[in-house]
Amino acid sequence: MTTTTTTTPPGTVTPPSTPLLNRFRVPAGFALGAVLLLGIAPLALSDFRLSLLAKYLCYAIVAVGVSLAWGRGGLMVLGQGVFFGLGGYAMAMHLKLTDAAATGEKLPDFMQLYGTGDALPWWWKPFANPGFALAMTVLLPMAVAAVLGFLVFRRRVKGAYFAILSQALAAALSIWLVGQQATTGGTNGLTDIQGFFGYSLDDPVNQRMVYFVIAVVLLLLMALARQLFVSRYGELLIAVRDSEERVRFLGYNPANIKLVAYVVAAGMAGLAGALFVPAVGIISPALIGIVPSIGFVIGAAVGGRASLVGAVLGAIAVAWAQSTLSDEFPAAWTYLQGLLFVLAVGFLPGGLASLGVVLRRRRTRTGTPATGETA
């Protein structure tokens, strides 16, 4: 059964299940997710909660890429904030320009405030074009990832080095954005976004539309990632993660294999950033620096980095827990977040997705017969 070839992180085993169940598991799960996201959630949730969910789904889109690059490829992508930010800023620049044009202004509000003169900076100008801006939300992150990835993977800089370099990139971008106050809005970022391609974001109906766009994009990207996982490329990616040297000896170039995963993950993060802007109405350096960049992998680690559904659910759950708990008990939430991370990564490397498997194995080991399907 080719559908079970999705391999697992070290320390987990594929749950034994019947072939018939397997054949329908993935489409059935996908259909269930679609019904939940597109049917039940919009009916059951208030406008406010639905817009919160839209925000969490943006993090989930990043998690799809994290699951690909980190879970499958073993690339610890600690700088996803960079790509999220590039996508977010590309979108926000366009929306700020259309907002300004709608009110008859030549410049976005913050530029008038900081007084950089009358002229729009040259690198803002192309973003007035919606097609260009939309393309940039994905292409710009992918280009940055391609350059960094090419340089780093080609020279076989790997593991911790790659993680630290990608983290340093996140730090550098957010520091740079803060420093260029007149053209990027500095610490405040690009705020107070009013419209989304001509639709006012104040209108709850349009907010719902944004939610649907995000949910559909998430489902599509999950399907895409799933196809990548079961493809020949997905097998190669896992092979590179587990033994790069052997893959090299077999005649493949591991650098290219890793590069594709990194670039695709960057594109997904960029798209997530672009969708985040209309959903939340702001993009700022505080959302893309080192801390949020690590935040992007927290959810995936807790849910299960190698399991696509685990990573996505983990990202949603952690984001939800963060916004509900951090308002009421900020101190307690920080402790809990730290502890969650220590426990999930340190003691359950497969994340919560592997909990059932680990428990089942432990039960078998201690002699109690495992219930149901024993191998």
The binding track of 73-112 with respect to other proteins, each residue x by CB under 8 A or -, is: -x-x-x----------------------------------
Q: Which is nearer to other proteins, 215 or 319 (CB)?
A: 319
- 346 near other proteins, rule: CB under 8 A: yes
Kindly state the tokens that stand for 178. Answer: 């803060």
Select the residue interacting with other proteins from 1, 40, 172, 216 (CB under 8 A).
172
What is the nearest approach in angstroms of other proteins to the Cβ of residue 345?
4
- 370 near other proteins, rule: CB under 8 A: no
- 245 near other proteins, rule: CB under 8 A: yes
- 179 near other proteins, rule: CB under 8 A: yes
- 338 near other proteins, rule: CB under 8 A: yes
Select the residue interacting with other proteins from 224, 235, 341, 355 (CB under 8 A).
341
Q: How many residues bind other proteins (CB under 8 A)?
A: 47
Kindly state the tokens that stand for 57. Answer: 């789904």
- 13 near other proteins, rule: CB under 8 A: no
Select the residue interacting with other proteins from 41, 182, 294, 309 (CB under 8 A).
294
The binding track of 302-331 with respect to other proteins, each residue x by CB under 8 A or -, is: -----------------------------x
- 161 near other proteins, rule: CB under 8 A: yes
- 169 near other proteins, rule: CB under 8 A: yes
Q: Which is nearer to other proteins, 25 or 248 (CB)?
A: 248
- 250 near other proteins, rule: CB under 8 A: no
Q: Which is nearer to other proteins, 152 or 261 (CB)?
A: 152
* Binding interface with other proteins (CB under 8 A): 10, 74, 76, 78, 148, 151-152, 155-157, 159-161, 163-165, 167-169, 171-173, 175-180, 244-245, 290-291, 294, 297, 301, 331, 334-335, 337-342, 345-346, 349
